[in-house]
Amino acid sequence: MVPAPVLVLGGIASVQSGAAIATKLFPQVGAGGAVFLRLGLSAVIVCLVVRPAISQVRGDVMLMLAYGVVLGAMNLSFYLALDRIPLGVAVTIEFLGPLTVAVGGSRRRLDLVWVVLAAAGVVLLAGGGDRLAVSGVVFAAVAAVCWATYILLAQRVGRAVPGMTGLAVALVAGAALTAPYGIAAGGTALVQPSAIGKGAAIAVLSSAIPYSLELAALRRLRAATFGVLMSLEPAMAALSGLVFLGQHLRALEWVAVGCVMVASVGATSTSGATESVEMIDG
Query: Tens digit of pLDDT for each residue in 130-139?
Result: 567 889 999 9
pLDDT band at 271 (very low <50, low <70, confident <90, very high): low
> Looking at the domain assignment, is residue 281 inside a domain?
no
What is the span of the domain harbouring residue 193? 4-276
Calculate mean pLDDT across residues 56-72: 82
Q: Tell me whether residue 171 is in a domain.
A: yes
Terminal-to-terminal C-alpha distance of the chain: 27
Tell me whether residue 282 is in a domain. Answer: no
- Report if residue 54 sits inside a domain: yes
Write the CA distances from 7 to 192, 208, 270, integer angstroms: 33, 13, 23
pLDDT tens digits, 113-149: 877 888 788 777 766 555 678 899 999 999 999 988 9
Q: Total structural domains in the chain?
A: 1
Cβ atoms 78, 140 nearer than 8 A? yes
Residue 176 lies in a domain: yes
pLDDT in tens, 174-230: 999 999 999 999 999 999 999 999 999 999 998 878 877 876 776 777 666 666 777
Residue 240 lies in a domain: yes
CB of 228 within 8 A of CB of 269?
A: yes
